[in-house]
Amino acid sequence: MVAVLINGDGIAASCCSHLLRQAGLHPIVERLARPRLPALMLSEATQLLLRDVFGREDLFSGVPRVRSRVVVWAQDSKARTLPHSAVIIGEQQLLERIHHGLGESESVQAEQPNWTIFASTAPRPPSVEHHFGSRMAAASPVRLNPKSDAEACWIESFENGWLFLLPSGKGPGWLLSVGDSVESLIERSGLIKEQIDEIDPSRGTFPSHPRIVLPLSEPGWLACGTAALGFDPLCGEGTGNAVREAILASAIIRAAVEGASVDDLVAHYQTRLLAGFRRHFDLCIEFYASGRSGPWWDDQVNELKRGLAWCSQQVRDTPAFRYRLNGFTLERL
């Protein structure tokens, strides 16, 4: 029996475990204690992916929805209301919904696994984590003004950062602050401040700049989810990317077990993730170049351009795509 050790028990790890078990392999989950994200905003595309992976059409039933986003982006710009479609759910709540009714038993130890998927902690050397920027984010629980739209999210840019306000149904909303402190940014707000009655202290800070581990894969192991890539929350949905990486990682291991060239497979995995990471830089540069002018925004754009140049160089040095996904199965091109 082929054993796969999965390091972590978040969204990416759960997807890998389920898909590998469905394929008749033996995933073994190594649980790691870490704080869960209080609120995730999941697009329609990510919801569809998760429903497909777990075969659960009811996975998001009753979850609070966001149907519009209100944006003040760039100096002297007026608030614009744009259509949006997403759900808001806490990471722990999502994991509980995912595992409910699956009936999958998971052991917690493995001796000499055939493969290891690093889904929470970065793999050991020779992998190195590359950072492109240093901006930190803080998430603060907030009590929303009863008059604010319960099905809207709000985004606002400032001289030294930006704010992103998420509702969460009947519970507290969440205010994401990037750059200056939440107190400094909210004091200058003309949009988001009006939606909030009370702000509680933040639950700590976390990086909000793009980052990547390289190498991402070698024979016998793959990095996936937060152990592989970190995305800017303004320009990329980490959960959706984690699910896509998990689908590909699981397909890579299945193909290896079926006899495909391991060297070709791990090279394809790294090439695919690098290509997606490069697209993220393109999108980030577009957003940050339009956000504001001034030293803080210039620094962010310069770091993103550095990341784009680095990523482009890595992509140039990698082979062309050798496989494609057909559902959850890898096919040779």
Interval 147-181: pLDDT, tens: 999 999 999 999 999 999 999 877 789 999 999 99
Quick one: tokens of 140? 């603060």
How many Cβ atoms from other residues are within 10 Å of residue 192's Cβ? Answer: 23
Q: What is the average pLDDT across 91-116?
A: 78
Residue 44 included in any domain: no
pLDDT band at 70, cuts 50/70/90?
very high
- pLDDT of residue 248 exceeding 70: yes
d(CA 163, CA 182): 8
- Count of domains observed in the chain: 2
d(CA 308, CA 311): 5
- Nearest to 252, CA basis, from 51, 237, 122, 244: 244
Give the CATH number for residue 194.
3.30.9
Q: pTM for the full model?
A: 0.94
Tell me what pLDDT residue 324 has: 95
Residue 109 included in any domain: yes
d(CA 39, CA 166): 8
Q: Are residues 214 and 266 in the same domain?
A: yes
Tell me what pLDDT residue 104 has: 60
Domain of residue 193 covers 60-89+135-208
Tell me what pLDDT residue 319 has: 78
CB 71 within 8 A of CB 80: yes
Tell me which amino acid residue 51 is.
Answer: R
Angle at 27 between CA 25 and CA 32, to 5 degrees: 170
Tell me what pLDDT residue 302 has: 97
Q: Last residue of a domain, which of 163, 186, 208? A: 208
Residue 195 included in any domain: yes
pLDDT digits (tens, 9 = 90+) for 37-56: 888 999 999 999 999 999 99
- pLDDT of residue 109 exceeding 60: no
